[in-house]
Amino acid sequence: MKGDLVLKKRWLLSVCVLFLAVLAACGSEKAEEGNEKGSKSEPSNTTQLDISATNFAFDQEEYNITAGEEVTVKLSNEEGQHGIEIDELDVSIQGDGEATFTASEPGEYTIYCNIPCGEGHNDMKSTLIVQ
């Protein structure tokens, strides 16, 4: 009978240890989830700037952003094949695509097409206004 009691105690102890191990595993999983959520919320600080291009113009003559904010510019070609280039900000996209930049200095920057797309190519210019 004494031996039975010892076995029972050992069994109880191992059940407790197992239980604690499971709890610890759950706890660390939750911590990781929290970290993921933390990093997912960061891109929401990025401003999305959509530009579409046709033959031979961008959809707006002027685009406005705020100095110091991170901007993801996305170019969609609706007609023809164009690109955008902003020299001062190191932005260069050819065809459909995205680029991320931060303009720290307020001012006016020229957005121009960087693909020789036809007779209206030289007119494909818009202004990025950074305030």
Q: Which residues bind Cu ion (CB under 5 A)?
A: 113, 115, 117, 121, 124
- Shortest gap between Cβ of 58 and Cu ion (angstroms)? 10
Report DSSP letters for 4-62, one per residue. HHHHHHHHHHHHHHHHHHHHHHHHHHHHHHHHHHHHHTGGGGSEEEEEEEETTEES-SE
Nearer Cβ to Cu ion (10/125): 125
- Shortest gap between Cβ of 114 and Cu ion (angstroms)? 7
Nearer Cβ to Cu ion (90/119): 119
Nearer Cβ to Cu ion (70/85): 85
- Shortest gap between Cβ of 57 and Cu ion (angstroms)? 10
Q: In which order are the strands placed within the sheet that holds 83-86?
A: 62-65, 125-130, 107-112, 83-86, 91-94
